[in-house]
Structure 1
Amino acid sequence: MRNNHHRRISNEDINKRLSLPADIRLPEGYLEKFAMNSPPFDKPMSRRLRRASLSEIGFGKLETYIKLDKLGEGTYATVFKGRSKLTDNLVALKEIRLEHEEGAPCTAIREVSLLKDLKHANIVTLHDIIHTDKCLTLVFEYLEKDLKQYMDDCGSIMSVHNVKIFLFQLLRGLAYCHKRKVLHRDLKPQNLLINEKGELKLADFGISPHIQLEAQHQGVGCIFYEMITGRPLFPGSTVEDELHLIFRILGTPTEETWPGITTSEEFKTYNFPRYHAEPLVNHAPRIDNDGHDLLSMLLQFEAKRRVSAEDALRHSYFKCFGEQVQTLADTASIFSVKGIQLQKDPGKRSSVHPESSKSSKIEK
């Protein structure tokens, strides 16, 4: 339906809007190899010249990557595990079909243009972009699993200490995005990738900027709750189900808690009963007082009453990490701080089953 409204996107449009990431990570020794034939570096290299030398090295070319197993498939994209012949590192290859449907290039361009400019320890790195007539391939760093798989692997019982480490990293990534006016519209455990060091990174920015009433609450608070309890906070299957569950726990919103809600047509059509808020601790007994306080601040109905990611990072719940985590460089990992490390999760299964340790993806 929405296709009719899209202007047809040509290859030139895509080429105009894409350029290789500014700080593409070259293997050591590669630049020296080309320095002989290239002009002196005393003046800035033109983009065309820079792209030429990068493509000589092998960036922007499909044959630079070996495709391994398929990790997942979505409407527009298929994701493969791969290996770079340049660096020998594992990568995730997200192939976006361009001829399939007109929404795909828009989504792809949005994801690429956002990710090219985001350089942060808690945001997945885009290493390379390959554009052919039929396909746009985004080459991402490879992470072993997503948060959903991580929780499944520990039988949904995560160490409360690890929950705190993951939540802090999620908030760091989001605070960085918000500072750059980028909103991640689809925060869910499948879009949070985790490597074997325990570094958590936001993935999948190719989300349409449309947001509905029921989507307001899919967010950090819900992920925090799911990590601490092992189950989704609002597992509704329809919008009405979902809102029903939200209101049963947080109380049905009133003009006082959410100004303007009572005049919302969508809200009026459902005609919800008047629920009173239940104490969150009834639902999440493993949470301490500081955690409970932070969770309540994250789950406020109204966006302007909800705590921002930046303020949440300074909440007393994270005091045990010490002061140093507050001044980390954007690209520095939380694990660069002495003494911060993951603990063994109480329900963790040993990875005897190949399925449980099976690789992750950059979400469809």
Structure 2
Amino acid sequence: MDAVEKANLERQKRWAKERKVGEGTYAVVYQGREVGTGRKVAIKKIKVGAMKDGLDMSAIREVKYLRELEHQNVISLLDVFSSKTNLNLVLEWLETDLEMIIKNHSLVFLPADIKSWIAMTLRGLEFCHRNFILHRDLKPNNLLIAADGQLKIADFGLARDFADPGYKMTCQVITRWYRPPELLFGCRYYSTAVDMWSVGCIFAELMLRTPYLPGESDMDQLKTIFRALGTPTEEEWPGHTKLPDYVPVGQFTKSSMRDLFTAATADCLNLLSKFFIYEPRKRISARDALHHPYFFALPNPTHPSKLPKISTQPSSRTLEEVDGNVDLDSPGPAVKAPAPVPNRLKRKLSSVSSNQDGRETYARRLDFSQ
């Protein structure tokens, strides 16, 4: 046994798989533990034996990028070892994901909670973009939540670097409901704006408690986008009719966001609209989004430890605790100190039923005016 094999065997013995918690086409995720300390971890076993040349490029990329990224809002890679035809990634253990929280209608979201989740998403994504890495699969299912409430961007299997602006990339990335129109039209040269469209979809979904733009096919996805945001003109999005897969989809008039997000403040709607600018070069960046007035107006973002979480225990969260403070010092200045919850917001919360459903109901119930 050579030195490399010996080191790999030692790393393998350090971690123990306990139970399967998820499975996809190319990977199985286990809950595991560190043998010496008992620390809980996630072990992602990637099946590489059947891949081209015996190794999956997405597995290589995921290891590469996670080794390069170290940020409180990006999942941590603890170790890597091989076993037969499998590559095993040892990741920090995270309790749940944002999709499960959104779908759990026993949880009531406050405007401050949504602000906190989006701030953490943007902070992690800004760090990725600053290091020239596109995620290319942002969605609530890939935003994991730690026990202390910190949100962490995960699943970098579709990520890639974008240091060379003239390098052609695939347009077959990003889960359809979160995919921007330039990719649906076959754009092969793109940058950070594709991730920002996805953040806008997540932002809207947090307010609606249901996906904002759920298309059933690529063509239906375009129609769904244009019904909501209007069919783009050449003035709004120069050159989009020349994209490789462009087809006329029909003429739709833009719907008023105010009609759907009836309780949102002007700052909230302004930021949301900037994620959905058709011209990718004009779409807001993660850094600029973190400096938007939305994050510096009341209510202050909820502290991660006070955010709603899935638990079998009754919540001890009080109304006085929900208006916490998230430090946005990287980038941007800190948010103002927390303010007391107004009586009017308390009255509105008391009227929210835990089993309400539907996008308009949730949008109207959220009070963004404080």
Query: 1 CA distance for matches of 2:265 and 2:100?
Result: 25
The CA deviation string for residues 37-77 of structure 1, in whole angstroms up to 9 with x for no partner, is: xxxxxxxxxxx9xx99x95xx99622222212211111111
Residues 1:299 and 2:276 are matched in the alignment: yes
CA contact (8 A) 1:147 1:189 kept: yes
Matches within 5 A, 1:1-364: 61-102=11-52, 105-155=56-106, 157-207=108-158, 210-212=170-172, 213-214=183-184, 216=194, 219-268=198-247, 271-320=248-297, 321=300, 325-328=327-330
Q: Which runs of 5+ in 2 are unaligned?
A: 161-169, 173-182, 186-193, 302-324, 340-345, 356-370
SS in 2 for 1:61: helix
Query: 2 CA distance for matches of 1:159 and 1:292?
Result: 16
Residue 109 of structure 1 and its aligned partner are, at CA, apart by 0.7
CA contact (8 A) 1:253 1:301 kept: yes
CA separation of 1:218 and 1:71: change in aligned 2, threshold 3 A: farther
The CA deviation string for residues 60-99 of structure 1, in whole angstroms up to 9 with x for no partner, is: 6222222122111111110011111233211110001121
AA matched with 1:245: T
SS in 2 for 1:326: coil
Instruction: Single out whichever of 69-78 and 279-288 deviates more from structure 2.
Output: 279-288
Give the aligned partner of residue 368 of structure 2.
none
AA matched with 2:273: S
Instruction: Single out whichever of 317-326 and 226-235 deviates more from structure 2.
Output: 317-326
AA matched with 1:177: C
CA contact (8 A) 2:49 2:85 kept: yes
Query: 2 CA distance for matches of 1:60 and 1:280?
Result: 56
Query: 1 CA distance for matches of 2:244 and 2:292?
Result: 36
Query: 1 CA distance for matches of 2:96 and 2:158?
Result: 20
Residue 254 of structure 1 and its aligned partner are, at CA, apart by 1.3
CA contact (8 A) 1:185 1:211 kept: no
User: What's the RMSD between the two structures over aligned residues?
Assistant: 3.3
Query: 1 CA distance for matches of 2:85 and 2:287?
Result: 41
Give the aligned partner of residue 364 of structure 2.
none
Aligned pair count? 290
Bigger relative CO (Cα 8 Å, ≥ 6 apart): 1
CA contact (8 A) 1:60 1:131 kept: no
The CA deviation string for residues 127-150 of structure 1, in whole angstroms up to 9 with x for no partner, is: 011123311100000101011011
* TM, length-normalised to structure 1: 0.71
CA separation of 1:264 and 1:166: change in aligned 2, threshold 3 A: same
Q: Structure 1 segments of 4 or more deviating over 3 A? A: 154-157, 215-218, 320-324, 337-340, 344-349
Instruction: Single out whichever of 128-137 and 164-173 deviates more from structure 2.
Output: 128-137
The CA deviation string for residues 140-171 of structure 1, in whole angstroms up to 9 with x for no partner, is: 00101011011122357522211100000000
Identity percentage of aligned residues: 36
CA separation of 1:311 and 1:280: change in aligned 2, threshold 3 A: same
* TM, length-normalised to structure 2: 0.70
